Amino acid sequence: MYSTRFRNAFTYAASLHEKQTRKGTSVPYITHLMAVAALVGEAGGSEDEAIAALLHDAVEDQGGAPILQAIEERFGKTVADIVQSCSDTEVTPKPPWRERKEAYLEHLETASASALLVSCADKLHNARAVVSDLRLIGDRLWSRFNASKDESLWYYRALAEVFRRRAAPEMLVGELERTVQDMIRLANDAQTKPD
């Protein structure tokens, strides 16, 4: 069972991301954070890991190092370490996309088991969203992102390989691999869907 710390983390995450939506949509960003926390919980994650799942994008999207410090003060060093490990940058403006993603993949090679769990859950939920949107709008999806279709497919393939090699939880990495295969198939077959 999760304690009031988890509820407090949910409230904090909701306040940090209250004006943010998923890229190119009107979907409140908190839905992504809830989904990642649910995946972490379903994979047997601890309360600290579930809290980190709720906060995994806070540093990257909501204020960098000061937010990381606030997370550590509110939820402890373990949570802050996981959140930091799941962030591909703490600076604004963000470095170029490819540079960030290559550095993140390299970082995952030595990341903690907790960071791998939260990161894999995050990437799985993102991949599921990409697959769903490919089915709905086809190739128009790629215009939402800073990366091209080919770069995005490269990144998801590379993530699945790292998570497999690093022995991320099977229920997550196996599903990520299947979802990435669906993504590749749909991307290769995609035609822009009519409005």
Residue carrying the six token digits 């990642």 = 36
Residue carrying the six token digits 């035609």 = 191
User: Could you tell me which residues are beta bridge partners of residue 28?
Assistant: 21
One-letter amino acid of 74: R
Compute the average pLDDT of residues 83-101.
Answer: 89
Residue 168's pLDDT is 87
Say whether the peptide bond before residue 96 is cis (omega within 30 degrees of 0).
no
The model's confidence at residue 25, banded by pLDDT at 50, 70 and 90, is confident
Cα separation, 11 vs 15, whole angstroms: 6
DSSP helix/strand/coil, 194:
coil
Given a cut of 90, is residue 195 above it in pLDDT?
no
- Cα–Cα distances (Å) from 124 to 96, 115, 160, 178, in that order, read 23, 14, 9, 10
Which pTM was predicted? 0.94
Residue 90's pLDDT is 81
Residue 158's pLDDT is 98
Given a cut of 70, is residue 191 above it in pLDDT?
no
Residue 23's pLDDT is 86
Residue 19's pLDDT is 92
> Above pLDDT 90, what percent of the chain?
83
Residue 194's pLDDT is 54
What are phi and psi for residue 128, nearest 5 degrees?
-60, -40
Residue 94's pLDDT is 81
Given a cut of 70, is residue 22 above it in pLDDT?
yes
pLDDT, tens digit, 9 for 90 and up, residues 102-118: 999 999 999 999 999 99
Walk me through the domains of the chain, giving residue ranges and CATH numbers. Answer: 4-189 (1.10.3210.10)
pLDDT, tens digit, 9 for 90 and up, residues 123-151: 999 999 999 999 999 999 999 888 899 99
Compute the average pLDDT of residues 144-166.
Answer: 95
- Concatenated DSSP letters of 31-57: HHHHHHHHHHHHTT--HHHHHHHHHTT
Given a cut of 80, is residue 192 above it in pLDDT?
no
Compute the average pLDDT of residues 78-106.
Answer: 92
Cα separation, 126 vs 134, whole angstroms: 12
HSE-up of residue 74 (Cα within 13 Å, Cβ side)? 20
